[in-house]
Structure 1
Amino acid sequence: MSNRPAGHAARSTVRPNSETSGHAPIRTFLYTADGMSIDSVYDPGAVVYETRPDTFQPHPRHLVFVIAHGFTGDVDRPHVRRVAGVLRGYGAVVTFSFRGHGRSGGRSTVGDREVLDLAAAVAHARGFGHARVVTVGFSMGGSVVLRHAALYAGAADAVVSVSAPARWYYRGTAPMRRLHWLVTRPEGRLVGRYGLRTRIHHREWDPVPLSPVAAVPQIAPAPLLIVHGDRDAYFPLDHPRMLAEAAGDHGELWVEPGMGHAEHAAGDALLSRIGAWATAAAG
């Protein structure tokens, strides 16, 4: 499973045109550079239009958030929809299901080729006319937004990584040991498929993808926000601190008191702060 970027190509079964008047969310399948079908939803939010609403062209300064969910999430999960609901107050929102999750095709590579899924979603977002794109990732998705920003220079105007690991193969907490069992053992992958609606690839990484902490220095000059809870049961605070140190002056670290892990632990107030930060940072 190579981490080599294979382009930004994405094809959509729905195109923005006059039929999208009324500003309803648009659900469609995207196609990644390696041919994977990715389920996505575009929500225009409170779009400010330059001309008539039926042209579906947002003001060039109106930003769009592309949300990269955590492992076992998907575009229909309530916690993903809640994140989208808060951020739509600050811009348009694209949500999507990573490969192997929900109605998307293929099997999860747990953060490796998922960078191609995010690249397709970002290209899709720009296809609606948005000049500013902010990627927001949680846990596995948090590692993916870091690698995407490093491998696709200029694709994101700002990056937010929430509850992300700094390094691969971490087994220092009980939840991460359970996750490794889920991913690496045949019986674990059965639990993933039938219990968690997540289809997991049986192959090991070859080559091992660029680690999040190695990716971070390559993100500059795009602004980077790292968010982590001080009660995260998966990744202790040395992970966000490593990321922040690697980011240097172009990164910002928020350690959230009392917060646990990823989307479930990110309250509406925190998401609103992220939305406000992104609006300023991507401007």
Structure 2
Amino acid sequence: MRNEYLPFPTKIVEIIEHTPLEHTFRVEYTGDVRPGQFFEVSIPKVGEAPISVSGIDENTIDLTIRKVGKVTDEIFDLLHSDRLFMRGPYGNGFDVELYKGKELLVVAGGTGLSPVRGVVDYFAGHPEECKHISLVAGFKSPADVLFLADQARWRETVNLILTVDALDCDPGDMTCEIGLVTEHLPNLKIDNYEEAVAIVVGPPMMMHFTCLQLLELGFKEENIWISQERKMCCGLGKCGHCKINESYVCTDGPVYNYTVGRHMFD
């Protein structure tokens, strides 16, 4: 019988530096995994942390990690070909089948772009499988923007709006707007709001007001998906750290349809 708590070793094959505090670690992995799912990533004698999957390839996955504590500090000291430990994948991810043949809108704030990157990447590479895809990605400043190389490629098939709260540094060649993501939603060209689908991921307040605005524009609640952020420790719905109401985010989420997610308050 498999021990679900037992991590397995994996090798780092590439490290992509986005900002001083955010790096993507590409690691070896073969198996079924969806965008929006997460792994418990650990270093022996240090601890473990839940990390969302930000990219999926045939024999690797991407883990975009923000340096914010003891475990992530240690991970940032690792080098190419070093090993770390993982267990998972856990949770309910985004099902791209639900968005095929639809007008798709993705709204992401900050590191919220990481768990939806796989969805955007899929439809950017298969634009014929959806009617239209728009991405509104918001960051604090140009210095905080993630996945610039991906964004340059996405622009070929995706209606991409990159927006920052303020231009506190030189954006260089980066094409970006100024303002919150909600300020740009009314300007999107969507043919049928009632049939369009949306994914919203980011800080709780950003998701709250973005979803309210989408409803005002004509989106149906059942056509909106969100991803909840919680401290998911066991990943198996046993420890209770991630429980909201009667839902365990690590097993029932992190991805929720808005009809369920709208009722989840701490």
TM-score for the superposition, normalised by structure 2? 0.33
Higher relative contact order (CA 8 A, sep 6+): 1
TM-score for the superposition, normalised by structure 1? 0.31
Compare the two structures and name the one with the higher helix fraction. 1
Compare the two structures and name the one with the higher strand fraction. 2
